[in-house]
Amino acid sequence: MTDLSDLVETPDAEREPQTGNGQPVAAGVPSDGTVTAVRDVPHMKWWGWGVPGVAFHHEDKPGFAPFVIKAVGLDLHAVSPLDPPSFEGIDVPASRDDGRVRAAAAEIVGADAVTDDALARVVHTYGKSLRDLVRIRAGVLPRTPDLVVYPGTEDEVQALVAALVGLDAVLIPFGGGSNIAGSLEPDPTETRVVVSVDLGRLDRLIDIDEASGLARIQAGALGPVLEAQLNERGWTIGHFPDSFTHSTLGGWVATRSSGMQSDKYGDIADIARGMRVARPNGLLDVKAYPSASTGPSVRELILGSEGRLGVITEVTVQVHRVPAKRVIHAYFFPNWTAGLAAMQAIAASDTHPTVTRVSDARETGFSLATAKESKGLSGLAQKGLMAFLKRRGWDLDELCLSFIGYEGEPDHVARQRKAVERIVKRHGGIGVGTGPGVLYDQKKFDTPYLRDFLLDRGTAGDVSETAAPWSKLRAVYDRAIAAAEEAYASLGRQGWIMAHLSHSYHGGACLYFTFAFVFGDDPVGEYDVVKTAVQQAFADAGGSLSHHHGVGLEHAAWMPDAVSAEGVGMLQGVFAATDPGGNLNPAKIVP
């Protein structure tokens, strides 16, 4: 196995000097675009992903600009990026609270944990989808929360829910704000007072039952915060979604999140064993049993409920000891068909690697284009490998890159790897060592910064993901690619779509698509054409409407395809019975 550390990279985000954005700012708004923290709760920048001073850069990646002009027709050398937007130019609707809701909330959490600050309300209006970012940068704010409240204890959350529903206010739970399915935004026609309940202060590891590997963790804990607390005691949750650095445990549960290592640890639906949920009439406590025969699963109802059944305050999760060894190896397959077949065979083999991921040729080309220039021996090794593959008869335009991860005791990792690599070899694959895997591991959470980079240059970039049985997976892939290309043609746009397989199961796998195009005068309308085409392709070809991003408003139209009209009616009945006043994040999932 050749070790080529500089062969491929995932898009990296690099720190810039913390000098501000050079734009006028509103009074009380820091020049770096962050929100002044209430009770030390951090937030992402209001107009984009992540933290100020961090951004994607392409200048040290010689293949990136040529790739972009070929893919979407954007000449990075000919276009100047937009300056970060100025909050001073945003017209924020006035809070509709007449003082009654604020007074009730302040009595419970304290006056300094309730705010109607304009910037705080804007930050809590949207998530971070392409639709969200286009609108927020343009100042399109038909409805913002009227108040943002930061409870500090479960008792305060419970009291807030009871009191504010009693005042007929609307409550929208808020974790890290990373959602891309429209799960956070208020209904623009809502006339009642809308309150964003920010769980950021509930971020503690409460307890670990070490005999059972069960950890009680407050729902507002961000990924790095909860993982650091677990690691200090020798444990890991094993759940690492792309949004890990800016999403919370409660948000993962509320949207049925999946992580990069779900092949071993499971999705959050497998990891979350119990939860506590604040509801208007009391606290719902779902106990963390190994298994139970207790009728329809209340636990399953809370998973994916997006705040419509209450505010999640605490989750009991299955945790695991930090593994003695963890390594990710990179492999090449001669084509997409071979890569898919290998992933299916690995899933059927019960070898249980932590990561099984393979990119199609389009995404592999993108990954190679984001590599920094290879020099010296590594550059020679890269050229030598490509020459070797050509001599073997490989079409380098069909090349597919794969990452497979292994964890556990060293001898266990060795056995896993040996068994997996027999399967890889049987499907024509070749190993290229741990170097690319190290880079992937280091930069796996940086990809969302690329969306801001493109948006600054008039280009839409976003994602759609689905899950399908192995028997339908290729048909779903082919239909989604064709649908996107048909949508680009209808718009008269040059566009790009690429995909990777991740999250393998015995019965099937997740396909994760990324699409991009240079937009015109109607970015949201054009985005809708492409997004709708891809989503409809999933439904038509037998894929799920989403694998781990949730439903929200973005995907609600496809719920009848996913669960049938009768299923939608059942969900409407549940929401109507458990929230008769429509106070808990109304209109999400189903109207």
Separation of first and last alpha carbons in the chain: 53
The Cα–Cα gap between 555 and 531 comes to 10
Please tell me which residue in 265, 440, 512, 527 is annotated as part of the active site.
Answer: 512
Predicted local confidence at residue 14, as pLDDT? 59
Phi/psi of residue 501, nearest 5 degrees:
-95, 135
The continuous run of DSSP H or E covering 576 comes out as helix 559-578
Phi/psi of residue 457, nearest 5 degrees:
-115, 25
Give me 564's structure tokens: 């049938």
Query: Which region holds residue 99: left if phi is over 0, alpha if psi is between -120 and 50, else beta?
Result: left
The CB density around residue 444, as the number of other CB atoms within 10 Å, is 18
Known active-site residue 512:
yes
The continuous run of DSSP H or E covering 432 comes out as none
Buried/exposed code over 322-347 (b: 16+ C-beta within 10 A; e: otherwise): ebeebbbbbbbbbbbebbbbbbbbbb
Q: pLDDT tier at 53 (50, 70, 90 boundaries)?
A: confident
Contacts of 246 (CB under 8 A, 6+ apart): 44, 49, 50, 176, 177, 178, 222, 223
Beta bridge partners of 217: 205, 315
Mean per-residue pLDDT, 347-354:
93
Q: Identify whether the C-beta of residue 105 lies closer than 8 Å to the C-beta of residue 163.
A: yes
What fold characterizes domain 17-52+82-198? 3.30.43
Give the E-state strand segments of 245-287 in sequence order.
272-279, 282-286
The continuous run of DSSP H or E covering 108 comes out as helix 100-109
Q: How far is CA 106 from CA 41, 109, 114, 196, 230, in A?
A: 17, 5, 6, 14, 33
pLDDT digits (tens, 9 = 90+) for 95-153: 999 999 999 999 999 999 999 999 999 999 999 999 999 999 999 999 999 999 999 99
* Assigned CATH for 458-570: 3.30.300.330
Phi/psi of residue 256, nearest 5 degrees:
55, 55
Pick from 224-238, 341-355, 385-399: least confident? 385-399
- Is residue 478 scored above 60 in pLDDT? yes
Domain boundaries defined on the chain: 17-52+82-198, 205-321, 458-570
Residue 375, Cβ density class (10 Å: 0-12 exposed, 13-18 middle, ≥19 buried) = exposed
pLDDT digits (tens, 9 = 90+) for 204-243: 999 999 999 999 999 999 999 999 999 999 999 999 999 9
Q: pLDDT tier at 17 (50, 70, 90 boundaries)?
A: very low
Counting residues of the chain whose pLDDT is more than 70, the rounded percentage is 92
What fold characterizes domain 205-321? 3.30.465
